[in-house]
């Protein structure tokens, strides 16, 4: 694949990052994942704003340029012969001396990765996905809120646990907070419907402030579907009428089966994709 390194298109095999880049040394870097539709990056302004806010908090001097980013993405699509693609836009802190920094990072590195979109499994969207409760808790955020950072150890450990459950092939893993509140999936935010109200965990749980999460909340509110965020337990999911997951690549994914770590299964609602999930999916599409 051809990727972009500081604005220059380069073969991925030739792209290198210094061993003194603090993104490598200390995980000090941020990224955004999104996709294109008809070559247009979806919700790009929102993704760049979250990236910019995070860089400001970390002392990484970065100024977004939507037009430049759009142009680079178009060039990458063309260079890789893709109509649409999965995009990961990363800002690494850059090269500094070995040791923790005392000032701002003035020369961060920008990397735009691209790859084909995963094949869409229509069966999952029609019949629903499995959600596996994990023992691995969601760690607390690095700061006042969670960054979408290079430091992904918690998610990796969760993914490794998920692979231990033979019955959970193709499932998403769900992490709770240390206090036992529903947090988020390994690569998704979670919603549930009860009595025609749409619920999602509060940002106070330390979850990522998902761009797709916020967009889906706006969609629901425009349809006059009541929404509420708060602190919820696993039992709220097992007793829900509908459950669904969201992320920028998979969009809105219905959940129809829940599993505990011991292998006990619960059907969500009637065991089929619910009407509000379908409505929101159609609006999103």
> What is the number of residues in the chain?
285
Kindly report the average pLDDT of the chain as a whole number. 97
Task: Spell out the residues 6+ positions from residue 149 whose beta carbon is closer than 8 angstroms to its own.
Answer: 27, 28, 29, 30, 31, 54, 142
Cα→Cα distances 136→161, 171, 180, 238, Å = 7, 15, 11, 19
Residue 33 has pLDDT above 90, yes or no: yes
Q: Count CA within 13 A, CB hemisphere, residue 246.
A: 24
| Banded pLDDT at 102 (limits 50, 70, 90) | confident
**Res. 142: pLDDT tops 90:** no
Is residue 35 within 8 Å of 87, Cβ to Cβ? yes
Instruction: Indicate the helix (H) or strand (E) that contains 175.
Output: strand 172-176
Global pTM reads 0.95
Asked if pLDDT for residue 162 goes beyond 90, the answer is yes
Using left for φ > 0, alpha for ψ between -120 and 50, and beta otherwise, residue 43 falls in: left
Question: In this structure, what token pair is assigned to residue 228?
Answer: 């509420």
Share of the chain above pLDDT 90, in %: 98
Lowest mean pLDDT among 167-171, 212-216, 254-258: 167-171
Q: In what order do the strands lie in the sheet with 86-92?
A: 8-11, 2-5, 109-115, 86-92, 29-37, 40-41
Could you give the CA distance from residue 1 to residue 129 in angstroms, rounded to a whole number?
31
Classify each residue of 68-96 as buried b or exposed e, where b means 16 or more C-beta atoms within 10 Å of its C-beta.
ebeebbeebbebeebebbbbebbbbbbbb
Q: Is 25 a residue whose pLDDT tops 90?
A: yes
pLDDT at 112: 98
Strands 8-11 and 2-5: antiparallel
Q: What's the pLDDT tens digit per position in 52-99? A: 999 999 999 999 999 999 999 999 999 999 999 999 999 999 999 999
Quote the radius of gyration of the chain (alpha carbons, Å).
20
Q: Which residue is listed with tokens 């994914």?
A: 253
- The mean pLDDT value for 213-236 works out to 98
Say whether pLDDT at 202 is over 90.
yes
CA distance 255 to 191: 10
3-class DSSP state for residue 124?
helix
CA nearest to 72, candidates 251, 64, 106, 18: 64
Crossing angle, helix 275-284 and helix 211-222, to 10 degrees?
A: 110
């Amino acid at each position: 694949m051809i990727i972009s390194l500081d604005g220059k298109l380069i073969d991925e095999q030739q792209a290198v990052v210094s061993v003194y880049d603090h993104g490598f040394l200390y995980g000090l870097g941020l990224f955004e994942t999104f996709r294109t539709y008809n070559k247009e990056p979806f919700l790009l302004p929102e993704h760049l704003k979250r990236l910019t806010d995070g860089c400001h908090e970390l002392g990484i001097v970065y100024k977004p340029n939507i037009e430049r980013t759009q142009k680079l993405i178009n060039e990458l699509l063309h260079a890789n012969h893709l109509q649409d693609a999965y995009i990961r836009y990363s800002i690494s802190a850059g090269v500094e001396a070995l040791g923790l920094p005392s000032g701002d990072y003035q020369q961060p590195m920008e990397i735009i990765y691209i790859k084909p979109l995963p094949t869409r499994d229509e069966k999952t969207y029609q019949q629903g996905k499995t959600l596996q409760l994990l023992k691995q808790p969601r760690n607390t955020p690095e700061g006042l809120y969670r960054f979408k950072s290079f430091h992904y150890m918690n998610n990796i450990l969760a993914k490794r646990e998920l692979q231990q459950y033979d019955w959970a092939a193709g499932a998403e893993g769900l992490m709770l907070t240390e206090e036992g509140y529903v947090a988020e999936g390994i690569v998704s935010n979670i919603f549930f419907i009860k009595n025609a109200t749409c619920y999602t965990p509060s940002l106070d749980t330390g979850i990522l402030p998902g761009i797709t999460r916020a967009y889906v909340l706006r969609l629901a509110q425009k349809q006059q579907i009541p929404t509420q965020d708060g602190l919820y337990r696993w039992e709220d999911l097992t007793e829900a009428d509908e459950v669904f997951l969201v992320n920028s690549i998979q969009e809105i994914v219905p959940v129809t089966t829940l599993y505990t770590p011991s292998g006990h299964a619960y059907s969500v609602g009637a065991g089929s994709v619910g009407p509000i999930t379908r409505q929101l999916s159609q609006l999103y599409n």
